[in-house]
Structure 1
Amino acid sequence: MKKGLLYAIMASVLWAIVNPFIKQGLSYDFTPMNFAGLRFTIVGIILFIYSWHKSMWKEILENRKLFLNLIFINMFMGYTAFYWGVDFVSGAISSIIMGMTPLINVLLAHLIARNDKLNCYKIISLIISFIGLILIIGTGSDGKPLDWKGLVGIILLILSIIFQGYSAISVSEDKARINPIFLNAVQMFFGGLFIYIIGLSTEGFHSFIGKPTGFYICLGTLVFISVFAFSFWFIALQTNGSKVSDINMCRLINPILGAILSWVMLEGEYPTFSTVTGMLIIVSSLIIYFKGESIISRLKKQ
């Protein structure tokens, strides 16, 4: 279980870096689905080269249900919603909303997974986290109320969490135990290619040749993160003794680190009372989730 949590923490730290680089990359006259598709297809090619083996097509066919789940629900639906959501709200707010991932996935695990049910401390943790979310939804990066575009962005980000949470439970409960790097290669390549093709038909072609250096730095950073983060994540989910809900709680690293990076890297974004308070409330929900029972026990002894 400790091994699983370690890999989950490493993946979460890498994912926390994502949002500011996506915002920066999209600022170079690029559209969300074109950018996402390009990124993930490149990642898939790199991982396919690394994990190529003779029986891989047979393995894909034998486990087609799991792979189709990852390609269409996790990659296409999850990341289409994610990229559009990030494009509609500030980098800091998108990082903080994605920090809700663990708590939404705890609820999903209770509804879907075996032997991963809610207790009173998890329920209290969920309620507190939603209070923090309400504070964040009320304001934009400038402290003013969000417009319809910002609210749609938040809804898309929450949908992204639900799609990806469902896929994470599928990987965790799958008995085939496919090599996590190969699993990542298949979902990234085919999912990324599908996103890119849909992007071409809905957004038109946006050339990635002759862009400023900053664009390639953002794309390269995102490719590096995707190569390692999802591979670490699948290792964590497949580790014996690990629960989906506990592994997902490690992702509460994202709102803190991601919001701080957005405030540092992106022009016009800065902390406000509501966003910082909402972030701290969400973090406190993690403490209750993991330590609620032990805290109450200590208080009773005193």
Structure 2
Amino acid sequence: MKKGLIYAIAASVLWAIVNPFIKQGLSYDFTPMNFAGLRFTAVGIILFAYTWHKGMWKEILLHKRLFLNLIFVNMFLGYSAFYFGVDFVSGAISSIVMGMTPIINVLLAHLIAKNDRLNICKVVSLIVSFAGLLLIIGMGNDGEPLDLKSICGIVLLLLNIILQGYSAISVSEDKGKVDPVFLNAVQMFFGGALIYGVGICTEGYHSFIGKPAGFYISLGVLVFISVFAFSFWFMALQSRGAKVSDINMCRLINPILGAVLSWVMLAGEYPTITTVSGMLIIVCSLIIYFKGEIIVQALRRNKK
């Protein structure tokens, strides 16, 4: 279980870096689905070069339900919603909204996954997390209410969380059946190619040749993150003794680190009292989730 949590924390730290680089990449006259498709297809090619083995097509057919789930639901639908969502809201707000991932995924695990039920401490932690996120996403960076475009962006990001949460449960329940790095290679290549193809049909073709250096730096960082982050994530989900809910709570790292990076890297984005307060509340919720029972037991001993 500890090994699974370490992999989950590593993946969460890498994912926290994503949003500012997506914003930068899209700023170079590039559309969301073209950019996402280019990124993920490149990742798939790199991982296929590493995981290519005899009989892999039979393996894909044998576990076709899992692979189709990851390619269509997790990659195509999930990341299409994610890239448009990130494009519609500020980098800091998108990072913080994605902090709702553990809350929603823990609830999904409670409803869908086997042997993954909530207790009192976990319920309190989820309520505290939700309060912190509501405090943050209720206002934009300037302290004013969010406009319709930003609200649509938040809805798309929430849709992404639900779709990817469902896929995470599928991976967790198929522990040990497919190598996690190969699993990542297949979903990235075919999912990325599908996103890129639909992007060309709906957004038009956008050449990635002759772009400024900043574009290739952003794309390179995102490719690097995807090569390792999803592989670590699948390793975490397939670790023995690790529950989907516990693994997903590690993603509360994302809103904090991601928002800080957005404030540092993106012009016009800066912290406010509400965002910082929300971050502190989220940290408290994480402590309650993992250490709540220990704290309660300590308080009971002190009373005695």
TM-score, normalised with respect to structure 2: 0.97
- What is the match of residue 294 of structure 2? 294
SS of the residue aligned with 1:99? Answer: helix
Shift of 1:175: 4.7
Shift of 1:283: 2.1
Does 2:125 correspond to 1:129? Answer: no
Letter matched to residue 229 of structure 1: A
- What is the match of residue 54 of structure 2? 54
State the Cα deviation string for residues 136-178 of structure 1 (Å, max 9, x = none). 2221122211001111111111111111111011000015520
8 Å CA contact retained: 1:137, 1:151:
no
Structure 1 segments unaligned to the other structure (5+ residues): none
State the Cα deviation string for residues 211-233 of structure 1 (Å, max 9, x = none). 00000000000000000110111
CA–CA separation in structure 2 for the residues paired with 1:267 and 1:38: 25
Q: How many residues align?
A: 302
- What is the match of residue 85 of structure 1? 85
CA–CA separation in structure 1 for the residues paired with 2:283 and 2:80: 27
CA–CA separation in structure 2 for the residues paired with 1:200 and 1:152: 23
8 Å CA contact retained: 2:103, 2:130:
no
CA–CA separation in structure 2 for the residues paired with 1:126 and 1:95: 18
Letter matched to residue 10 of structure 2: M
Shift of 1:293: 1.4
Where do residues 115-126 of structure 1 align in structure 2 (5 Å cutoff)?
A: 115-126=115-126
- What is the match of residue 195 of structure 1? 195
Question: Which of 71-80 and 124-133 deviates more?
Answer: 124-133
Letter matched to residue 243 of structure 2: K
Where do residues 33-44 of structure 1 align in structure 2 (5 Å cutoff)?
A: 33-44=33-44
Shift of 1:279: 2.0
Where do residues 24-39 of structure 1 align in structure 2 (5 Å cutoff)?
A: 24-39=24-39
Question: Which of 97-106 and 224-233 deviates more?
Answer: 97-106
Root-mean-square deviation (CA, aligned residues, Å) is 1.0
Question: Which of 282-291 and 208-217 deviates more?
Answer: 282-291
State the Cα deviation string for residues 59-89 of structure 1 (Å, max 9, x = none). 0001000000000111011111111111111
Letter matched to residue 53 of structure 2: H
Letter matched to residue 180 of structure 2: P
CA–CA separation in structure 2 for the residues paired with 1:296 and 1:52: 50
Structure 2 segments unaligned to the other structure (5+ residues): none
- What is the match of residue 13 of structure 1? 13
Does 2:149 correspond to 1:149? Answer: yes
CA–CA separation in structure 2 for the residues paired with 1:176 and 1:15: 24
- What is the match of residue 215 of structure 1? 215
- Which of structure 1's runs of 4+ aligned residues deviate more than 3 A? none
SS of the residue aligned with 2:53? Answer: coil
- What is the match of residue 239 of structure 1? 239
CA–CA separation in structure 2 for the residues paired with 1:214 and 1:33: 19
8 Å CA contact retained: 1:122, 1:288:
yes
CA–CA separation in structure 1 for the residues paired with 2:279 and 2:70: 30
SS of the residue aligned with 2:228? Answer: helix
CA–CA separation in structure 1 for the residues paired with 2:197 and 2:115: 39
8 Å CA contact retained: 2:96, 2:137:
no
Letter matched to residue 22 of structure 1: I
